[in-house]
């Protein structure tokens, strides 16, 4: 299966973990490779139908297997980092206090510098900080999944 998606075994395991997390979060109903391929075929058919009907199609006009997997994995992470309604309703994506975001900014000031070395202010960076903090939460959830026995990941 890794070959279909142009991934190493470790990358495929991570991708499977992302699919499992997306299922647990209610973003998809089925986290199997077969379901991934069904969603890819449906997306490609939707794009083709739009083109046939003369509707504008922006971006990718056909998803290969590796491209569609990356599209989904990116979408899942973005749904978490910039919480969509489903994620907010679950309550798994935290909101951060001013003190937490300020502490993260202070600990990572090197990430907020311009080309000439001057820094972006905390106020200019707060939204980005919150997104980075949510990325850390997402990765922690992923690590929890990756630590589970392999036979348990896809059975929920």
pLDDT tens digits, residue range 68-125? Answer: 999 999 999 999 999 888 888 888 888 899 999 999 999 998 899 988 888 899 999 9
Confidence at residue 61, expressed as pLDDT on a 0 to 100 scale: 94
Mean pLDDT value of segment 30-41 = 97
Cβ-contact 128, 81 below 8 angstroms: no
Confidence at residue 80, expressed as pLDDT on a 0 to 100 scale: 94
Percentage of residues in the chain having pLDDT higher than 90: 76
pLDDT tens digits, residue range 42-60? Answer: 999 999 999 999 999 999 9
What dihedral do alpha carbons 97, 98, 101, 103 form, nearest 10°? -110
| Cα separation, 39 vs 102, whole angstroms | 40
pTM: 0.85
């Amino acid at each position: 299966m890794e070959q279909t998606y142009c991934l190493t075994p470790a990358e495929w395991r991570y991708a499977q973990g992302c699919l499992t997390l997306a299922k647990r979060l209610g973003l998809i109903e089925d986290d199997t490779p077969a379901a991934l391929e069904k969603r890819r075929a449906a997306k490609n058919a939707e794009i083709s139908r739009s083109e046939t009907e003369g509707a504008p199609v922006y971006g990718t006009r056909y998803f290969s297997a590796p491209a569609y997997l990356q599209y989904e994995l990116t979408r899942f992470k973005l749904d978490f980092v910039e919480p969509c309604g489903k994620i907010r309703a679950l309550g798994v994506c935290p909101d951060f206090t001013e003190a937490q975001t300020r502490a993260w900014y202070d600990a990572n000031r090197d990430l907020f510098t311009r080309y000439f070395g001057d820094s972006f202010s905390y106020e200019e960076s707060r939204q980005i900080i919150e997104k980075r903090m949510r990325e850390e939460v997402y990765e922690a959830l992923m690590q929890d999944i990756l630590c589970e026995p392999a036979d348990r990941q896809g059975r929920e």
